[in-house]
């Protein structure tokens, strides 16, 4: 018969165990309530008696509050790490979107002899997507080796991985390997089929699913949109038993992509009428349309809606608004929003610098860039430099442009992309240094695209470099839109025979020309 022990019979060791246990429980309670500070205080006070569970809980608490550095410090100081400690750290790194550190920690885990389990793989696979996609089959073989392939979470992660690799066969294979499938598993198959362009298979899958939820419906709608079948998407959308903000936004986005603004706006109004509140995704999508097509009035109306909705502090939305205002020609409003932002990220700075460049405010663009990097310590990315370089183009600042072109690589390790070369070619071309532009095109590690040719020829046209343009003619003949530039140059020279010849080629080749061609040479 078991009875409660009297305090007298408790030995020092069990006392120790009890106090450890209650400390651990208290820490867990604090963390569950979102109170990291008190948890940490208790943890520090009882540091020597804390067990691995207490350490792990404390790490989880820091990660939940985005205190990755504190989490890392604790992890490094831990006397004993178990698989949960490693998994928790991995998921923390995954949350902060740091694939390289994630990769390193995973390798470290293996080196330390800790065997990954069913919690490890979903985290690392999702973190590896877009960066280490190639490792998916290797991870798969490790998973098979450890006998984790039938796990539902591991399987779903693998399905996403193979979708990214466009491996239709393995996608189905992994799906079949999952023993007990739930609705998320089926949804992952839907996404996979849709992303790989198998709309029929996706529809068939949807039809034979044991149950579907609003995510399955939305996946189907979005999948049809991604595969450019807007009418099918709308058909499914109309059939939906209920809709939420995500499904409305997906459908609106579909129309925006089709440049069907009438339907997009009508749908937005129906959405409001159905008592679904738009969120920042919805507004962002609509603002993007306004920015792309200079719909200033609609843009300002959306701005009012955003102010009323209380979403105006959202970083993404402020950035979309800045972009809309600069592209609609109202740089002043753009700055008003920009200056009122509490936190700014790289994209926010990019949109204001790009806005200045577009408005010909080269000096302002460059001073904002200085503020961004030197005063605020925000790291520029490849888009920042496209904007900085195009500001230099507008200002005719050749030497400054060259300097930034070098700094980009040497100081920030950003690789030179075609767009950056296009800016430099444009910069040299406009400044009359056509020879330098030609040299740059020749030493560029890419096949020049239509933008590079356009920039180069615009430079030739501007400075009447007949000889250079003529020498380039053969090279650029795959691009029909280039011919207009030749017509101008030949015309200036009075070579009317060549003009007529070119014009004939333009007519022959320019069938189905698009907006892109009209905007040649502007970037």
Nearer to DNA, 339 or 443 (CB): 339
Give the separation between CA 239 and CA 323, rounded to whole angstroms.
35
Give the separation between CA 478 and CA 449, rounded to whole angstroms.
10
Cβ neighbors of 407 (< 8 A, separation 6 or more) are: none
DSSP 8-class letter at 416? P
Nearer to DNA, 232 or 495 (CB): 232
Nearer to DNA, 193 or 479 (CB): 193
Nearer to DNA, 157 or 487 (CB): 157
Give the separation between CA 174 and CA 122, rounded to whole angstroms.
14
Nearer to DNA, 257 or 495 (CB): 257
In the block, residue with structure tokens 């579909």: 254
* Least spacing, CB of residue 319 vs DNA, in Å: 4
Residue 286, judged by CB atoms within 10 A of its CB (0-12, 13-18, 19+), counts as buried
**Which candidate, 251, 226, 254, places its Cα nearest to that of 240?**
251
* Least spacing, CB of residue 488 vs DNA, in Å: 29
DSSP 8-class letter at 133? G
Under a CB-based contact definition with an 8 Å cutoff, are residues 365 and 388 in contact? yes
Nearer to DNA, 175 or 483 (CB): 175
Under a CB-based contact definition with an 8 Å cutoff, are residues 192 and 184 in contact? no
* Least spacing, CB of residue 221 vs DNA, in Å: 9
DSSP 8-class letter at 470? H
Nearer to DNA, 57 or 484 (CB): 57
In the block, residue with structure tokens 């040649």: 520
* Least spacing, CB of residue 283 vs DNA, in Å: 8
Nearer to DNA, 160 or 430 (CB): 160
Secondary structure (H, E, C), 28-51 = HHHHHCCCHHHHHHHHHHCHHHCC
Distances in Å between the alpha carbon of 1 and those of 4, 5, 14?
A: 10, 12, 20
* Least spacing, CB of residue 370 vs DNA, in Å: 17
Nearer to DNA, 154 or 427 (CB): 154
Nearer to DNA, 17 or 52 (CB): 52
* Least spacing, CB of residue 324 vs DNA, in Å: 8
Secondary structure (H, E, C), 356-398 = HHHCCCHHHHHHHHHHHHHHCCCCCCHHHHHHHHHHHHHHCCH
* Least spacing, CB of residue 153 vs DNA, in Å: 3
* Least spacing, CB of residue 155 vs DNA, in Å: 8
DSSP 8-class letter at 8? G
In the block, residue with structure tokens 């089926």: 186
Locate 456 and state its tokens.
């180069």
* Least spacing, CB of residue 181 vs DNA, in Å: 8
DSSP 8-class letter at 446? S
* Least spacing, CB of residue 436 vs DNA, in Å: 27
Give the separation between CA 180 and CA 195, rounded to whole angstroms.
24
What count of other Cβ atoms lies within 10 Å of the Cβ of residue 178?
Answer: 21
Nearer to DNA, 279 or 300 (CB): 279
Give the separation between CA 304 and CA 312, rounded to whole angstroms.
10
* Least spacing, CB of residue 249 vs DNA, in Å: 4
How many helices (H) and strands (E) in the chain? 31, 0
């Amino acid at each position: 018969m078991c009875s409660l022990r009297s305090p007298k019979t408790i030995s020092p060791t069990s006392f120790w165990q009890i106090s450890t246990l209650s400390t651990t429980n208290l820490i867990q309670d604090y963390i569950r309530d979102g109170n990291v500070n008190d948890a940490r205080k208790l943890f520090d006070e009882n540091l020597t008696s804390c067990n691995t569970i207490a350490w792990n809980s404390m790490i989880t608490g820091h990660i939940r509050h985005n205190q990755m550095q504190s989490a890392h410090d604790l992890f490094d100081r831990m006397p004993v790490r178990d698989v949960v400690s490693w998994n928790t750290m991995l998921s923390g790194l995954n949350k902060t979107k740091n694939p390289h550190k994630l990769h390193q920690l995973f390798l470290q885990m293996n080196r330390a002899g800790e065997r990954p389990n069913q919690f490890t793989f979903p985290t690392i696979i999702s973190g590896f997507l877009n960066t280490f996609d190639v490792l998916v089959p290797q991870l798969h073989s490790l998973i098979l080796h450890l006998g984790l392939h039938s796990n539902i979470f591991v399987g779903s992660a693998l399905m996403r991985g193979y979708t990214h690799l466009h491996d239709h066969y393995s996608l189905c294979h992994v799906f079949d390997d999952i023993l007990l499938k739930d609705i998320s598993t089926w949804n992952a198959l839907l996404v996979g089929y849709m992303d790989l362009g198998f709309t029929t298979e996706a529809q068939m899958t949807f039809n034979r699913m044991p149950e579907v939820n609003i995510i399955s419906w939305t996946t189907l709608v979005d999948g049809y949109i991604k595969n450019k079948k807007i009418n099918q998407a709308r058909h499914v959308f109309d059939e939906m038993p209920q809709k939420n903000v995500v499904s409305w936004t997906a459908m609106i986005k579909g129309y925006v992509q089709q440049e069907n603004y009438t339907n997009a706006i009508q749908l937005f109004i129906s959405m409001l009428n159905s008592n679904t509140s738009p969120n920042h995704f919805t507004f962002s999508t609509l603002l993007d349309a306004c920015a792309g097509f200079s719909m200033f009035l609609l843009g300002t109306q959306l701005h009012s809606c955003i102010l009323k909705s209380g979403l105006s502090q959202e970083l993404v939305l402020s950035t979309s608004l800045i972009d809309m205002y600069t592209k609609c020609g109202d740089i002043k409003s753009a700055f008003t929003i920009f200056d009122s932002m509490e936190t700014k990220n790289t994209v926010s700075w990019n949109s204001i610098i790009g806005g200045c460049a577009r408005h010909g405010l080269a000096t302002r663009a460059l001073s904002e860039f200085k503020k961004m990097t030197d005063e605020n310590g925000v790291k520029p990315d490849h888009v920042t430099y496209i904007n900085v370089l195009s500001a230099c183009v507008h200002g005719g600042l050749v030497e400054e442009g060259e300097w930034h072109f070098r700094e980009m690589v040497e100081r920030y390790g950003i690789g030179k992309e075609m767009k950056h070369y296009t800016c430099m070619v444009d910069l040299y071309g406009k400044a009359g240094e056509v020879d330098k532009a030609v040299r740059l095109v020749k030493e560029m590690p890419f096949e020049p695209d239509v933008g590079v040719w356009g920039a180069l020829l615009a430079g030739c046209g501007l400075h009447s470099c007949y000889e250079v343009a003529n020498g380039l003619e053969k090279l650029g003949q795959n691009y029909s839109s280039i011919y207009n530039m030749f017509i101008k140059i030949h015309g200036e020279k009075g070579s009317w025979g060549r003009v007529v010849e070119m014009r004939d080629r333009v007519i022959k080749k320019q069938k189905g020309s698009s907006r892109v061609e009209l905007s040649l040479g502007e970037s």
